[in-house]
Amino acid sequence: MQQFLESFLPAGPLVVFVFSIIPLMIILVYALFAIWLERKVAGHMQDRLGPMRTGWHGWAQTIADLLKMIQKEDIVPAKADRFLFKLAPFIAFAASYGAFVAIPLSSGYIGSMIDVGVFYIVAITSLLSVSIIMAGWASNNKWSLLGAMRTAAQTVSYEVPTVVTILSVIIVTGTLNLMEVTEMQTGNAFLGFLPSWLIFHSPFMVIAFGLFFIATLAEAHRVPFDLPESESELVGGYQTEYSGMRWGLFMLTEYADMLLLSLVGVTLFFGGWNSPFGSFMEGPLWGAFWMLLKGMILVFVMMWLRWTLPRLRVDQLMNLCWKYLIPLSFVNLVLIALWEMIF
């Protein structure tokens, strides 16, 4: 990719710049689409139409909202910690944008071929909770603070099953570099026709994916684990005092986070940019298509759950994590390791 850019752009910083904003462009376009999709999904699940006025089936609704948000006054509460308050949304977005570096978007594009890709992603996304605690604390609002405390507890707890399930995949792949993980899943070897995705590798991988998906739902603060911003309990949680574009950045982060975690899931379990039909529809551009399509399917499932399920209570959330998910993921880890030893 870098060579391709260098072929028509003057070398140097510009190439690096263009190269590095590709994920940003994808995130922004995706966010516009995903927010529209969320509304449409919600609308159709609830027997209504969703936005219909702005363009064909309301496709421009998110753009209209964006314009509205930009025009809104940027309110900072009088007794807030101004510096932290203003900084928090940027750190939140930076954390999830930064994590895209290690995701192989197609066979021709990965931000950085770092060998500790997965480890890096896990590390940098935990910055997100820092920013949320920052936002909650700086707002000087008790509801925000409660939301921030919930986030801290939730993220710290759910990182454990996330990491352990990722670890069980790593046992199979033997590498932390996500590009290599994806390349291992090329081909249609299983049973002669199934793609060689890791999810088909062993029955325990299905369990691992289930655990991973539940944990990522909690990491992305999606229903039924959306306690940090649970609007019917904590007003808006850590977002309570935010308005205008700063709030928009949190929104963007939430959606970017959904995509990020879905893409990690896709890379680890569903063959990343690999086509499900072997060598049919393959190549770097098709790769990006498959990657994003698979990611969007997982994002859709997240939306589906959001509009179906109620919300857990904070202690039930912790119970679920520490009493069920963590033991299960460790047992699963051992079983996958045994499977690897035997077969």
Partner 1 sequence: MTDVKEKGPEVTLTLPADTGNGLKTQEMIINMGPQHPSTHGVLRMELTLNGEIVTKAIPHIGYLHRCFEKHSEAMNDYAKVIPYVDRMDYVAAMNNELGYAIAMERLMDIRVNDRVEYIRVIMAELQRVASHLLAIGTFGLDIGAFTPFLYCFIEREKILDIFEKASGARLLYNYIWIGGLMNDVPADFKSDTAAFVKSFRPKIKELNDLLSMNRIFIDRTANIGVLPEKVAINYGVSGPSLRGSGVKWDLRRDDPYSIYDRFEFDVIVGKGEMGTLGDCWDRYIVRVWEMEESLKIIEQALDSMPDDGDVQEAIPKKIRPPAGEIYCRTETPRGELGYYIISDKSTSPYRIKARAPSFVNLSVLPAISIGAMVADMVAIIGSIDIVLGEVDR
In angstroms, give the least distance from the CB of 229 to partner 1. 11
Calpha distance 230→237 (Å, rounded): 6
Q: Evaluate whether 195 touches 271 at the Cβ level (below 8 Å).
A: yes
The C-alpha angle 136, 140, 145, rounded to 5 degrees, equals 40
Of the two residues 211 and 288, which places its CB atom closer to partner 1 in the complex?
Answer: 211
Of 336, 193, 192, which Cα lies nearest the Cα of 269? 336
Of the two residues 159 and 226, which places its CB atom closer to partner 1 in the complex?
Answer: 226
In angstroms, give the least distance from the CB of 285 to partner 1. 37
Residues engaged in binding partner 1 (CB under 8 A): 42, 45-48, 142-143, 146, 223-224, 226-227, 230-235, 306-316
In angstroms, give the least distance from the CB of 42 to partner 1. 7
Residues forming a β-bridge with 109: 106
In angstroms, give the least distance from the CB of 224 to partner 1. 6
Calpha distance 290→275 (Å, rounded): 6
Of the two residues 218 and 291, which places its CB atom closer to partner 1 in the complex?
Answer: 218
B/e letters for 41-65, b = 16+ CB within 10 Å, e = fewer, are: bebeeeeeebbeeeeeebebbbeeb
Residue spans of alpha helices (H) in the chain: 2-8, 13-45, 61-71, 82-99, 117-138, 142-173, 178-184, 203-219, 244-269, 284-306, 314-319, 326-342
In angstroms, give the least distance from the CB of 227 to partner 1. 8
Of the two residues 176 and 227, which places its CB atom closer to partner 1 in the complex?
Answer: 227
Of the two residues 258 and 292, which places its CB atom closer to partner 1 in the complex?
Answer: 258
Which residues neighbour 239 within 8 Å (Cβ) at sequence distance 6 or greater? 135, 144, 147, 229, 247, 250
In angstroms, give the least distance from the CB of 238 to partner 1. 15
In angstroms, give the least distance from the CB of 168 to partner 1. 26
Residues forming a β-bridge with 104: 110
Of the two residues 161 and 224, which places its CB atom closer to partner 1 in the complex?
Answer: 224
Of the two residues 2 and 308, which places its CB atom closer to partner 1 in the complex?
Answer: 308
